[in-house]
Structure 1
Amino acid sequence: MANHDGANEVFLALADPTRREVIRSLGSGPASVGELAQPFAITLPSFMKHIRTLEDSGLIRTSKSGRVRTCTLNHDRLAIVGDWLKEQRRVWDQRTDRLEALVNDQEETR
């Protein structure tokens, strides 16, 4: 797969279950890093590496107000995953349609 608009970075960022859970949580709306980190049994510096990876991939945006860093999901970047899956579904539907046609043709010739 070609790296269309950073798809490789998006998929790499989503390869980790902690980061996928952060994305899932942000689907409900913006949240502070502290709120996002709470369910995980890792140190805040380790969690911040996940946040930086998500931010570098463009999946989230962060903003700081005082001492609070708030994360927001970038839906446009996340759409890369949906677009890729849609294309894969189209390809596999075509393949299974051809296989079905082949099987039907063989049954008719019997």
Structure 2
Amino acid sequence: MSEVRLTAGEKARSAALVARMCKRGVAGDQVHIADLTRRVDRIHEEAARRTEREQAAMKVELETARQAVALAKTAVRTADRTTKPAAKAALRAAEDALRRTERAARRIGL
């Protein structure tokens, strides 16, 4: 799995909790911060679960786009003269959709 990306809200909550931990740390070494540490850990665990769900969904979408391109190529190969221009247009559209999906997959670390 690639690195876990936090949303803006998760970053803000984590930063606020870390700031509270620092504030408690200034009070002394004997101050209890385990509750805040657990909350930060919980935020990171939820982000990891979300990332896994997003990557699984993106894998399905990527495979669907690849299958659509394969079907469009088959349609071009089997098309007669009257339907070949439409089949080629459909192939270009499927390839464009695949490129967009691959770009999005790279952005999330696949």
Report the TM range for the smaller structure's normalisation.
Answer: 0.3 to 0.5
Give the structure with the larger helix fraction: 2
TM-score (norm 2): 0.41
Q: With the length of structure 1 as denominator, give the TM-score of the two structures.
A: 0.41
